[in-house]
A and B are shown apart, each in its own frame.
Chain A
Amino acid sequence: MNSAFANTWAITKRELSSYFASPVAYVFIVIFLLMTGFFTFMAGGFFQRGEASLTSFFLWHPWLYLFLVPAVGMRLWSEERRLGTLELLLTMPVTAAQAIIGKFLASWLFLALSLALTFPVWFTVNYLGTPDNGVIIAGYVGSLLLAGAYLAITCMTSALTRNQVIAFILSVVICLFLILAGWPPVMDFLTSVGAPGLKDFVARLSVMTHFESFQRGVLDFRNVLYFASVIGFCLFTTGVIIRTHRAG
């Protein structure tokens, strides 16, 4: 069991160091920070709201992650496939599962780091007033899980193709679908198609409901389960896809 963790961790480290070897990581972090900052203070009306909370900060995450997370994850498997190093990776004394989880963890940790670097906004809001810090913590947890879910989806699409751009676009589309699942026009469409049962199911798929639940300050098992299911399912599917390619 120990070796399993050790292997996974080795992969994670390898992946992470490759991130920071190139300027891409820094560029990504800078862009992420600039955009969250911009949206929070300008578009989100942080000061206009007049309330000491990070609502205007978390509000944008589903939409920012929509583009930024696929950008991080698209190269995860596409690159290996393109360079032909996929087979090499899988011949090492490392199981496919360990490789998948290892790479996923690396990217997730990277995203976690980017998220953590937004701490000045937390300081700011505490300086200006007395926010409910428990609610903020729950917000960060929700945001991290959301990023993880998008990332898992991107892993999946990235394993499907050699072309990073296609992986990116596919991932954006799927994530967008998850965001819009609960959206009234979509709901209306489903009603008109005459599938009320399907409508309920689709509504529960929506990432927004689960994300917003964290914003209230509650860590609900059901919401965590949702994100865990998405991550679990996508990583499993990634494994299936890779095995298929390997067999081919």
Chain B
Amino acid sequence: MKNRKQLETVLYSGLGVLVMLVIAVALNAIFAGARLRADLTEDQAFTLSEGTKRILGRLDTPVQVRFYFSASAPDMDPALKTYAQRVQDLLNEFRALSNGKLEIKKFDPSPDSDAEDSANVDGIQGQQIQPPFGDPIYFGLAVSSLDNRAVIPFISPQRERLLEYDLARAIAQVSRPSKPVLGVMSGLPIFGGMDPMAMMRGGGQRSEPWIFVSELKADYEVREIPVTAEKVDDDVNLLVVVYPKGVTEATQFAMDQFVLRGGKLIAFLDPLSIMDARSAMGGNPLQAAAGSGATLDRLVKAWGYDFDLNKVVSDKQFQTELFDPRTQQPRANPSFLSLSGRGFDTNDVVTSQLGRVTLPFTGWFDGSAAEGLKATTLFRSSPDSQLTDKMMAQFGATEEFKASGKEHPLAVRLAGRFKTAFPDGRPVAPGDTNAPAGEVLKEGKADSVVVLVGDSDLLHEQNFARIQELFGQRIMLPFAANLTFLQNVIEQLTGDPDLIGIRSRATQMRPFTKVREMQAEAEIRYESKIRELEKSLQDTQQKLNEIQRAKADVSQQAILSDEQQQEILRFQQERAKVNQELKAVRKQLRQDVDRLENTLKWANIVGMAFLVTAAGLVIAFVKRQRTAAR
């Protein structure tokens, strides 16, 4: 009897364990779709922003999202699968906020399935994640509404922090009624045109349009607007101004009114345009350089800034190595900037993922946003920068470089309610009796956005891409993100204004600032010493070369004089010594940092452990004392 009861108890308990297990698993399964969480990240990277909620709430036509993920692929990387789950979670959240307008369809494109065909039709290609074996993995999505479609061909885990933005933008793009209209104005023949230089060279009369114009035509309706236009058409959404040389007051007024009507503007100004200087009709290059430069003086001033046409920003941190034809050597040109990293606003969607942007001879914006406007600096120089006279910069003179310690803003975005730059109304040209009628705005009817960039050469393909001719096609291979920057800005300004509000969840770089500071300090301390040594090395090398050359000249004399041989030896020794010194100084540079690292390392590993041991020993001792036989 007792045995049976025992057995019963065991069984019951054993069953109980099983039941508990089932309950535990079921609980987890039930809540698998729950979105209950606390986002502790500093920039709220995993919480939906207000902008997204507004975009979704505003949808009035059905939008379909087709999500492709090869979930059943046998070699699926679990990390990718986890990320795919997060993407689906996000899509579900989007749907919940869309008032039923957003429909999500999930596909698993296994090889030769209908789902795979659908993916290919949507322009989503399978990626070979695990070459050489394994079928291609699909991980992308297509968003469509009526006739519009936006595609994210591959949802990269590296872009996780921008996932919400990418999705919201795709949805906003397809629910937009029509293609935005870009008005493009320039003082240079960016649409192609009569190129006097080409004529002189004997080539055709027309020069090619700049490539960025063709790129823009693919996504937008592009309209050419002359530099002397008196009015910007009402249906233009965004005005892109590139090097407005020859712009008149009347045109600036037209732009002013355009902005006040709520139109958006991007202006690429420039103190020194390479393209302009190039197309100068022979003549005095100095004169051409002096005459170059273009700005929208009245507008820029009214918006709170000063754009100096005579100065170019030179930067030691962002200098570019260019081939110097004079010395046949690559030489760093601090006035030709290659902006990267800290030169960008890492938080802004427009600049957060740019790798490198080249800015040949750029100006800067001095001042601060006028009342009612908020300024964001998109490009800035490092503190190791100075203002160089543009003439000096153009002819490569880089004598005295004195770091100003100031981060010069090279591109700014102004947003808010603008006020007119023409308080006296329409500028009347002398002898103009017929003033055209029309409402003149003194203040913005709506909020608007203006982006000012201090350089225009960055838009020419020679500064950001290599062009390859392949089977009659011109293939563009970018080596800098200049065009991406332009596309980002345009998209930001013509897309949904709520997209601008979506916080950029850029992968925040959080470096060891302390270490960087120490390195910078050390470099400054040793820089002059290193330069001195390098110069002495150069001189020694030169002398050595001279002697070798002399030797070659007097080749009749097969034997070197003793003296010459001695000299050679001396210089070789000198060179070895200087090299050693250089190495020693460079090693010292790292010393401080290394010392810090080591101290911290050992303090952390052993420090606390030592304290605990000490505490333990003290406690043991105290206890021993207390319980010691009296």
Contact = CB atoms under 8 A, between A and B. Distances in A.
Interface in B564-614: 597, 600-601, 603-609, 612-613
A135 B74 contact: no
B263 to A, nearest CB: 39
A219 interface: yes
Contacts of B36: 220-222
Interface stretch (A82-90, A113-121, A170-178): A113-121
B28 A229 contact: yes
A163 B74 CA distance: 42
Interface string A222-247: 10011001101100110010011001
A75 to B, nearest CB: 19
Interface residues of B, number: 57
B21 A120 contact: no
A155 B510 CA distance: 41
Interface in A152-209: 182-184, 187-188, 191, 196, 201, 203-204, 206, 209
B10 A244 contact: yes
B512 A129 contact: yes
B129 interface: no
B13 interface: yes
Contacts of A233: 20-21, 24
A18 interface: no
A52 B513 CA distance: 8
A37 interface: yes
Given A33-B609, A40-B604, A41-B601, A219 B38 contact: yes
A222 B31 contact: yes
A37 B605 contact: yes
Interface stretch (A23-31, A58-66, A104-112): A23-31
Contacts of B25: 201, 229
B553 interface: no
B132 interface: no
Given A47-B597, A222-B28, A222-B31, A26 B616 contact: yes
Contacts of A131: 510
A229 B24 contact: yes
B72 interface: yes
B285 interface: no
A218 B515 contact: no
Contacts of B629: none
Interface in A6-29: 20, 23, 26, 29
Contacts of B38: 218-219
Contacts of B74: 188, 191
Contacts of B45: 217
Interface in B1-31: 6, 9-10, 13-14, 16-17, 20-21, 24-25, 27-28, 31
A191 B71 CA distance: 13
For the complex of A and B, 10 pairs with smallest distance between CB atoms = A37-B605, A134-B40, A26-B616, A217-B41, A221-B36, A229-B24, A219-B38, A240-B13, A220-B37, A33-B609
Interface of A: 20, 23, 26, 29-30, 33-34, 37-38, 40-42, 46-47, 50-53, 117-118, 120-121, 124, 127-135, 137-138, 182-184, 187-188, 191, 196, 201, 203-204, 206, 209, 212, 216-222, 225-226, 229-230, 232-233, 236-237, 240, 243-244, 247-248
14 contacts: A23-B620, A29-B609, A33-B608, A34-B609, A37-B605, A121-B604, A127-B514, A128-B512, A134-B41, A209-B78, A226-B28, A233-B24, A240-B16, A247-B6
